[in-house]
């Protein structure tokens, strides 16, 4: 081989890769969602030592087809209804491919002028689509876990304790900093508290009401108690679309409370934020425009391949003050005129993620994206109606968006029965669901978010659930 793949070999391999991806996407629905593979099986067919001599690309791609593709859980499968189902759509895959070809690192404007300015523009587009204030400034991270960490570091920087310079350890004069989120908030919030040095015991998990929304009276009491006992409330995380049930915390009341106590408001809209592009779903999220920071993941429900998480902040100067650190070798002549994306987080290097989101938004159009989100929510409502009408089952939570939580009603050991029900449905092949525990009870969860999921798949799922129920009752 020359220094890199010769151009003609690269071109023909790229054509083969295009065929592999297109064939995969075309046929993915015919496979079982979960592979029939045991732990360690893939490892056992991979050679322990890397090849010393170059191998032909066709051989490597043959192995990809033989060993890799069949041994994956198929996230692009229309029956993938677990966690938050996602799709790397065609336009998104093309954008990702182009970004790989360019391989730019958009740490500075100089290192990627179009990468920087496209990111700024695309973030402004999505803010507009979500009806967020024009002064929200966005940038792209890999995941919501990173976005929330960065946002909460900015919240910490706003406190009069100068952690950036002085750290937290060995400072008895600094009170414990506290963080508030509902008992339904995502675990990434606790991880942020771990990384930021707050400690897990300073995360207050606030109780939720019957519909899994944060209790504002309980939040008020928690903040007041912490203040009275000498702790320093740092931030409240309100979730818009919680991971288990997609419930929406009462953001307007939480925003009032944050304003009253001078506490940062971070909104975790990682999943449901995408639905805000539809006015009727945006109306379910009043108050998000009052956030100090907000995260939304186009890689969850805006058909953009993993990874792509947008963090919006109201005060970019504060975020920059929390993170900007410019060594001499990264200074450029135009620093005062441009955005250098490295200034807005802990990472220096960054992938060109805006390209795929730009392609998705343009190729579907905002109306096309709205249509797909509406279709997912309509399918979820249909499923919820079937469950509600069937005396064998019950809905476990309201269905504001595209996820449905339900369980079988049985007298004897319902948790064990529902666990077995889930295992049986998943073992059938055409669908994959996940579970959660709500108010102490085992619950099945269907999340609709895949572009290929149609009504027929949801009907098939419902049939499988009914059949598995009858089989288990008969055993
Ligand atoms: N926030 C919410 C509400 C989530 O549901 C999830 C993941 O499902 C996350 C944050 C974490 O997302 P990521 O995997 O992008 O870190």
Which residue, among 177, 257, 185, has the nearest Cα to 216 in the 3D structure? 257
- Tell me the best of 142, 145, 296 to mutate to test the pocket of ligand 1, counting ligand atoms within 8 Å of each CB and taking the most: 145
Count each helix (H run) and each strand (E run) in the chain, helices first.
Answer: 16, 11
Q: How is residue 437 written in tokens?
A: 């525990």
Which residue, among 116, 128, 157, 132, has the nearest Cα to 294 in the 3D structure? 132
Task: Name the band, by pLDDT with cuts 50, 70 and 90, for residue 1.
Answer: low
Tens of pLDDT, residues 303-357: 999 999 999 999 999 999 999 999 999 999 999 999 999 999 999 999 999 999 9
- State the distance from the centre of ligand 1 to the C-alpha of 87, rounded, in angstroms: 15
Q: Give the position, in ligand 1's atom list, of the atom nearest the Cα of 84.
A: 8
Q: What single DSSP character describes residue 284?
A: T
CB neighbourhood size of 195 (10 A): 13
Ligand 1 neighbourhood includes 270 CB (under 6 angstroms): yes
Distances (CA, A) of 428 to 14, 389, 431, 443: 35, 24, 7, 19
The C-alpha angle with vertex 218 and arms to 442 and 310, in degrees rounded to 5, equals: 70
**Nearest CA residue ID for atom 7, ligand 1:** 243
Task: Name the band, by pLDDT with cuts 50, 70 and 90, for residue 475.
Answer: confident
- Tell me the best of 75, 152, 185, 186 to mutate to test the pocket of ligand 1, counting ligand atoms within 8 Å of each CB and taking the most: 186
Tens of pLDDT, residues 73-100: 999 999 999 999 899 999 999 999 999 9
Ligand 1 neighbourhood includes 143 CB (under 6 angstroms): yes
Q: Give the position, in ligand 1's atom list, of the atom nearest the Cα of 299.
A: 15
Longest dimension (CA), the chain: 76
d(CA 109, CA 211): 46
* Secondary structure (3-state) at 440: coil
* Secondary structure (3-state) at 191: helix
- State the distance from the centre of ligand 1 to the C-alpha of 145, rounded, in angstroms: 6
Ligand 1 neighbourhood includes 401 CB (under 6 angstroms): no
The C-alpha angle with vertex 9 and arms to 3 and 57, in degrees rounded to 5, equals: 85
Which residue, among 361, 403, 363, has the nearest Cα to 380 in the 3D structure? 403
Tens of pLDDT, residues 387-427: 999 999 999 999 999 999 999 999 999 999 999 999 999 99
Q: Which ranges constitute the DSSP H helices of 174-215?
A: 187-195
CA–centroid distance for 419 within its chain: 25
* Secondary structure (3-state) at 112: coil
Ligand 1 neighbourhood includes 358 CB (under 6 angstroms): no
Q: Give the position, in ligand 1's atom list, of the atom nearest the Cα of 239.
A: 3
Distances (CA, A) of 363 to 89, 93, 233, 273, 360: 10, 12, 44, 20, 5
Ligand 1 neighbourhood includes 239 CB (under 6 angstroms): yes
Q: What number is the average pLDDT over the span 134-148?
A: 97
């Amino acid at each position: 081989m020359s220094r890199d793949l010769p151009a003609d070999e690269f071109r023909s391999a790229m054509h083969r890769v295009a065929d592999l991806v297109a064939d995969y996407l075309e046929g993915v629905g015919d496979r079982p969602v979960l592979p029939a593979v045991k732990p360690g099986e893939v490892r056992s067919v991979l050679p322990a030592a890397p090849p010393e001599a170059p191998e032909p690309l066709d051989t490597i791609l043959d192995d990809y087809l033989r060993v890799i593709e069949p041994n994956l859980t198929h996230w692009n499968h229309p029956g993938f209804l677990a966690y938050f189902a996602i799709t790397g759509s065609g336009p998104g895959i093309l954008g990702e491919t182009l970004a790989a070809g360019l391989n730019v690192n958009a740490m500075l404007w100089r290192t990627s002028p179009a990468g920087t300015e496209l990111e700024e523009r695309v973030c402004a587009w999505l803010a507009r689509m979500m009806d967020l204030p024009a002064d929200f400034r966005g940038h792209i991270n890999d995941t919501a876990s990173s976005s929330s960490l960065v946002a909460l570091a900015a919240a910490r920087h706003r406190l009069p304790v100068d952690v950036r310079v002085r750290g937290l350890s060995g400072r008895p004069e600094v009170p414990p900093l506290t963080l508030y989120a509902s008992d339904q908030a995502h675990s990434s919030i606790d991880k942020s508290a771990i990384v930021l040095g707050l400690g897990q015991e300073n995360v207050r998990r606030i109780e939720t009401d019957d519909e899994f929304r944060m209790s504002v009276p309980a939040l008020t009491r928690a903040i007041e108690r912490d203040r009275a006992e000498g702790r320093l409330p740092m931030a409240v995380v309100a979730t818009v679309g919680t991971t288990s049930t997609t419930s929406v915390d009462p953001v307007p009341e939480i925003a009032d409370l944050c304003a009253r106590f001078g506490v940062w408001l971070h909104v975790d809209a990682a999943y449901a934020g995408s639905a805000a592009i539809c006015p009727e779903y945006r109306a379910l999220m009043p108050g998000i425009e009052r956030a100090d920071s907000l995260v939304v993941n186009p890689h969850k429900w805006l058909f953009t391949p993993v990874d792509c998480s947008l963090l919006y902040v109201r005060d970019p100067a504060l975020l920059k003050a929390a993170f900007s650190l410019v060594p001499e070798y990264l200074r450029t002549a135009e620093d005062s005129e441009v955005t250098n994306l490295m200034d807005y987080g802990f990472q220096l290097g960054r992938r060109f993620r805006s390209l795929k989101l730009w392609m998705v938004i343009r190729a579907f159009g905002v109306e096309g994206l709205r249509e797909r989100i509406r279709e997912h929510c309509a399918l979820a409502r249909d499923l919820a109606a079937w469950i509600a009408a069937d005396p064998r089952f019950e809905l476990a939570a309201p269905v504001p968006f595209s996820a449905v939580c339900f369980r079988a009603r049985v007298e004897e050991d319902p948790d064990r029965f529902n666990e077995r029900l889930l295992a049986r449905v998943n073992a059938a092949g055409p669908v994959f669901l996940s579970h959660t525990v709500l108010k102490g009870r085992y619950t099945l969860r269907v999340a609709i978010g895949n572009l290929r999921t149609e009504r027929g798949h949801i009907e098939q799922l419902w049939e499988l659930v009914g059949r598995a129920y009858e089989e288990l009752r008969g055993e």
